[in-house]
Amino acid sequence: MALRLMMKPPLSSSKGLLFFYLVVLFSCSQSIDAQTNQTNATTDPSEVRALISIFQQWDLQAPDTWNISGEPCSGTALTTSFSEFEDPSNNPAIRCDCSFNASTVCHITSLRVFGLDKRGVIPDEILELPYLDFLKIDKNFFSGSLPAFIGNLSRLGLLSIAQNNFSGPIPKEIGNLKKLYLLYINSCGLSAEIPSSFANLKEMRIVWASDNAFTGKIPDFVGNWTKLTQLRFEGNSFEGPIPSSFSNLTSLNSLRIGDIYNGSSSSLDFVRNLKNLTDLVLRNVLLTGNFPSYITELQSLQKLDLSFNNLTGQIPSTLFNMNSLIYLFLGNNSLSGSIPSQKSETLQTIDLSYNFLSGNLPSWVNSRLQLNFVANNFTLNSSNIRVLPGLECLQRSFPCFRNAPRYANFSLNCGGPAIIADGIQFEAENRTLGPAKFNVTSTQKWAVSNAGLFADRQNQQFVENNGGQVRSTNTPELYETSRISPGSLRYYGLGLENGPYTVRLFFAETGFPERTSGSWRSLARRVFDVYIQGARRLRDFDISKEAGGVQRAISRNFTTNVTANHLEIHLFWAGKGTSGTPEDGYYGPSISAISVVPNFIPTVSGIPPSNPKEKNHTALIAGVTVPVVALALILIFAIIYVKRKKEDDDEEVLLGISPRPNTFTYSELKAATEDFSPSNKLGEGGFGPVYKGTLSDGRVVAVKQLSVASNQGKDQFVAEIATISAVQHRNLVKLLGCCIGGNRRLLVYEYLVNKSLDQALWGKQDLHLDWPTRFNICLSTARGLAYLHEESMPRIVHRDVKASNILLDAELCPKISDFGLAKLYDDKKTHITTRAAGTIGYLAPEYAMRGHLTEKVDVFGFGVLALEIISGRPNSYNSVENDRIYLLEWAWTLHENNQLLSLLDPKLVEFDEDEALRMIRVALLCIQASPSMRPPMSRVVGMLAGDIEVTNVTTKPSYITDWDFKDVTGTFMDESQTSIPSDHSGSDIKSKNKIISDADDQPVLSPLNISGFRESFGEGR
């Protein structure tokens, strides 16, 4: 039967066509033989009609190579060569089997429409091709839902629909394709859970299902696809854990799973049996546990990526000696110990950044390797610094210029040369980066770090050049290059003066086509997150979407605080968007330029070195000025020294504090507070009142006037000054100075306009704390505590974490206040036995009963605080039903009944359900009975931010039932203490809530079931 496919008439003459056909026929002997043997075979008429209809709907034209003389099953349609069938010139293509009915009937067995930008839906006529065993229609613009009738093509062995614009779930009927062994559904817009019917697909060899919106748990039945050789599940919304049944997939040579944010954590135990693996990528999938030694038994492994998990323990020495391993990515875990001393010649790329590794660097370290060792605790010597210059500035404490700032700004042309744009000098940032590389500028002013390998990309370039085609900007030269990364790209400002800064980030999408082009390439989506100082400031940021198209400039401004003289900007690919469009391995963050400027008048220049013409002039000025200044300084110091000698002991004690706090005179503070007028009183804490004041320079401050009757003597006062002066963080209230003399003790803090969190949550303040604000308050408070516990020098336990000690600035950013109760603890000690000080309702059991103090006491208080933020009520509230009076008890009840969202404040009309559940579960972890079961604050930050999995919450702590709740607003102390006299009953409630073990200030014993409580926590378990 002749085939008429609604084609355009051929351009050549019939004689020319005949000659062409003869050349084709006589040049392909195998195809000629096949055609000669099947001269009498014709294509099934019903299939011809179906093919005509399909081609009409898809606006396709059959190439002459197989549509010979109008017969579909002819020419290359009869080839037995797969390469000939896949030839780009043979597209669209079919293949036929003409062995039916004594070789007189041909059936179409393969249909290939590849990368032709065809639009429309999958038509019903596909069902009229029942002999199809090969359907490849990827890289088009097909849309609509994937039709269920595909499940009736029972002969299908290959189904490839990747990189299209479909929507909706996978039909469960696909599970009927029991002969299916190759499934390519990556980047095609599918969503929902993988149907349970897929358990029938036991012939699977290759499954690519990345870059979709699949949800739910990774099905356990995947472990029954025992013939699998490749599995890709990256870039979806799966929940953990990775099923242990994966251990059955012993034929796997490539396993890629990425970006699991919810569900349970996963173990690596299933990998033990996968001896044939060459490519193992389990990035950001909630892996926990010690790094397993059996990984080294996977002797064929070439690439191993376990980054962004929570693996602990030491790196096995044999890992670095694996003969086949080339790429190793273990960054952003919690690994400890040292780097193995020996390494195979094969291993060339190693990312160990953001762990807790220590010790000396091994002798095999050299500059020819791709190495990223940023943010660890290595011991570095001069030889290490020569090989990896600048690494000393990028260790965990970022020590360069700590407390000795040198700069106050920096601007970078990312991936490009130095330029001046819009009056700003942008430094060159065009040194070579690789999959595991960092660069520190020679001035140690800024640095850049990259980690990640572009998957399936031959050209591993980390700079995008666009030729200056960016529009909608007066500075197109700023967008001629952009730095790109496949995973994690960090920029650091080093030696910056502490204070508020504006960070401006410049973007332009130059690698993707316009979304309106209608091409399959226009389906490309670059999506990434941006963190500044650890806080996520942009989520799912899509440059072209935000800019209104590609080749269009866009910038974003952010205000942030620099603390510890260090700024970090982190661009992170969280597995979203596409990774194979417009070409394989094209994804991850991209940035064109960065500008960081202070929002204050700096005391350091932050200006690049002067040019040669200015040098002589500058030298002359310096020659005259320096001696004069030096002489003046000597005289000033001499005067200060003589004056100090004459002052009393209370003033002299400040000389031992480093850095020395600013001092105010009593008359200054008296004038600032209008003689400590009651109208300026902000509140009263356990050690005395706090007043609002305005200094002579116009600064508004908070003055804490420590009462003479307070138990905080000179030593405690000095300790408080030293403690607060030693730490600076954007989520800690800043100490501006102090006043000491005679019996007067005053501290001067920055003033926070929105006062304390408890007033905002349930006080009289008219503040609307919506969900994003509450979540940020919780996360930022966690960051402040993590800093106190793990990063500040000295390390600090606050001991009284509660809502009234969280103050809010004008932007409702939280700052932790009141370090009067914070005591330093020695790094070498696992705990401190000390006198209890804190507030009932927030006190950890082991601290309340035994004075057992570790940072886990603050973790407990933070857990209570988080529940209060979520619920909008204090931890004890008598105006509700009996079973809801005590917040902790109510929260655990809701957890047991799977009703956690009932805990949310009714005022919250809108909220992020995932964030809310995550926040509640983290809070419940924090209030576990045993200190060892409470996570450290750094892990709390990671769980809240969604960077790591929320550990499973265990059963209700026994103290919930053992504690006879009567009045959690009261206080209790050691058994040796007694109740205060009744004439103190009218004193400030906050004073009552303080636990002070000094005999002169004895608070009320709380009516608790002490025996049961002590029994539950006798050993802190």
Q: Which pairing describes strands 206-208 and 806-808: parallel, antiparallel, or unpaired?
A: unpaired
Q: Give residue-wise pLDDT tens across range 154-175.
A: 999 999 999 999 999 999 999 9
Nearest to 257, CA basis, from 275, 230, 278, 276: 230
- Distance CA(401)–CA(597), nearest Å, equals 18
Q: Which pairing describes strands 424-429 and 410-414: parallel, antiparallel, or unpaired?
A: parallel
Across 330-350, average pLDDT: 97
The helix (H) or strand (E) run that includes residue 280 is strand 279-283
- Distance CA(834)–CA(124), nearest Å, equals 77
Q: How many residues does the chain have?
A: 1021
- Distance CA(126)–CA(53), nearest Å, equals 9
Residue 863 burial (CB count, 10 A): 25
Share of the chain above pLDDT 90, in %: 53
Across 757-778, average pLDDT: 86
Q: What is the 3-state secondary structure (H, E, C) of 197-250?
A: HHHHCCCCCEEECCCCEECCECCHHHHHCCCCCEEEECCCCCEECCCHHHHHCC
- Distance CA(350)–CA(305), nearest Å, equals 10
Residue 483 burial (CB count, 10 A): 26
Across 751-767, average pLDDT: 84
Nearest to 492, CA basis, from 571, 430, 436, 419: 571
One-letter amino acid at 928 equals Q
- Distance CA(280)–CA(273), nearest Å, equals 13
Q: Identify the three-state secondary structure at position 494.
A: strand
Nearest to 563, CA basis, from 807, 789, 733: 733
Q: Which pairing describes strands 158-160 and 182-184: parallel, antiparallel, or unpaired?
A: parallel
Q: Given pLDDT bands bounded at 50, 70 and 90, which one contains residue 997?
A: very low
- CB neighbour list of residue 36: distance below 8 Å, 6 or more residues apart: none
Q: Given pLDDT bands bounded at 50, 70 and 90, which one contains residue 655?
A: low
pTM above 0.75, yes or no: no
Q: Give residue-wise pLDDT tens across range 935-944.
A: 999 999 989 9
Q: Give residue-wise pLDDT tens across range 735-755.
A: 888 887 667 888 888 899 888
Least confident among 300-309, 609-618, 753-762: 609-618
Query: What is the pLDDT, as a whole number, of residue 713?
Result: 57
Q: Give residue-wise pLDDT tens across range 280-291.
A: 999 999 999 999
Query: What is the pLDDT, as a whole number, of residue 737?
Result: 80
Q: Give residue-wise pLDDT tens across range 848-904.
A: 777 788 899 999 999 999 999 999 988 877 666 666 678 888 888 898 888 999 999
- Distance CA(958)–CA(929), nearest Å, equals 7
DSSP state of 611: P
Contact 126, 150 (CB under 8 A): yes
Query: What is the pLDDT, as a whole number, of residue 998?
Result: 31
Nearest to 80, CA basis, from 103, 97, 63: 97
First to last CA, the chain: 84
What are all long-range contacts of 980-986, with beta carbons under 8 Å and residues at least 24 apart? 980/1004
Q: Given pLDDT bands bounded at 50, 70 and 90, which one contains residue 98?
A: very high
Ordered by where they begin, the domains of the chain are: 14-290 (3.80.10.10), 291-396 (3.80.10.10), 410-598 (2.60.120.430), 647-750 (3.30.200.20), 757-824+832-1016 (1.10.510.10)
Strands (E), 751-878: 796-797, 806-808, 814-816, 823-824, 832-833, 852-853
Across 55-67, average pLDDT: 88
Across 20-31, average pLDDT: 36
Share of the chain above pLDDT 70, in %: 78
Contact 786, 845 (CB under 8 A): no
Catalytic residue list: 800
Q: 832: which 2 tokens?
A: 């401190």
Q: Give residue-wise pLDDT tens across range 347-406.
A: 999 999 999 999 999 999 999 999 999 999 999 888 778 889 999 999 998 888 888 999
Distance of CA 272 to the CA centre of its chain: 28
Q: Give residue-wise pLDDT tens across range 680-706.
A: 998 887 667 899 999 887 888 999 887
- CB neighbour list of residue 290: distance below 8 Å, 6 or more residues apart: 311, 312, 313
Q: Give residue-wise pLDDT tens across range 481-510.
A: 999 999 999 999 999 999 999 999 999 998
Phi, then psi, of 434 in degrees rounded to 5: -140, -165
Judged on CB neighbours under 10 Å (0-12, 13-18, 19+), 690 is: buried
Q: Which of 73-87, 640-654, 734-748 has the highest mean pLDDT?
A: 73-87
* Better pLDDT: 646 or 453: 453
Query: What is the pLDDT, as a whole number, of residue 715?
Result: 61
Query: What is the pLDDT, as a whole number, of residue 1009?
Result: 36
- Distance CA(890)–CA(883), nearest Å, equals 6
Helix axes 856-871, 937-945, angle to 10 degrees: 30
Q: 573: which 2 tokens?
A: 């690919």
Q: Give residue-wise pLDDT tens across range 407-456.
A: 999 999 999 999 998 878 999 999 999 999 999 999 999 999 999 999 98
Nearest to 204, CA basis, from 242, 177, 185: 177
- CB neighbour list of residue 892: distance below 8 Å, 6 or more residues apart: 924, 956, 957, 960
Query: What is the pLDDT, as a whole number, of residue 990?
Result: 33
Query: What is the pLDDT, as a whole number, of residue 837?
Result: 54
Across 308-319, average pLDDT: 96
One-letter amino acid at 216 equals G
Q: Given pLDDT bands bounded at 50, 70 and 90, which one contains residue 65?
A: confident
Query: What is the pLDDT, as a whole number, of residue 169?
Result: 95
